[in-house]
Amino acid sequence: MDWSTDFSGKSAFVTGAGSGMGRAVASGLLQAGADVTLFDLKEAPGDLPEGGRYVQGDVSDDGAVAAAIGGQAEASGRLDYLVNAAGVLWFERDKSAVDIDLELWDRVFAINLKSVVHTVRHAVPFMKQSGGGAMVHFSTIQCLRGDAQPQDAYQASKAGMVALSKSVAIQFAADNIRSNVIYPGPTLTPMQQRWHDDPATGQAIADYVPLKRLGTPQDMANACLFLLSGAAGFVTGTELIVDGGITALP
């Protein structure tokens, strides 16, 4: 069996699925036969992946997340996969912890980290009923290093996601529930609209990447589908770097 093309009979919940990495993951799962709820704050895009169930909602709203995950489990009779791809990076306002507005700090943490608490706490009971499951959470290589032009709320919230994933992996390993993290490198998504607006800057970053290109949402989706699949059945509590080699540079 080709793990990459068969998620038949499985059920998934994907946040941040209105665009970018989340959308690519949801599309891959749908194409591979899974039943999928796409959850995002944005209005439903006009070209939704065929067969997906789109729910508009805020990942920082625990009640909305609970209702959407419960709806997915009820509609499909099970829940096998959770993908946390929602997140914000507010370049113009997210800055050093010394300077940042603390209300903004709290809002970034609510969206990037507390949202993972919301999804996990509501997904786990349904995964237990289904006999197990797998989670993938999208972090960033930025939480592995410092930055002279910091976005400290983004970086710290995404680092917290890694610690939470490890804890979840150990807590629920006996229930056959796996939890892993992807560290994306520079990826051409709507979050990085600046690279569309300024191609020269995007090209300079691509030139810095050892593989000489920016990542794509599909690159991240491919890694995610692997971690969700049975091919990664002995992989839990760890992180997969998908960055074109940046973090291997001296």
Active site residues: 154
Q: How far apart, in whole angstroms, are the C-alpha atoms of residue 169 and residue 66?
A: 21
Neighbours of 196 (CB within 10 A): 11
The set of long-range contacts for 154-158, using a CB threshold of 8 Å and a minimum separation of 24, is 154/87, 154/88, 154/89, 154/90, 154/94, 154/108, 154/112, 156/97, 156/109, 157/108, 157/109, 157/111, 157/112, 157/113, 158/87, 158/112, 158/113
Opening angle at CA 41, ends 165 and 21, nearest 5: 55
User: Tokens in use for 97?
Assistant: 């912890």
| Residue 13 backbone phi and psi in degrees, to 5 | -125, 125
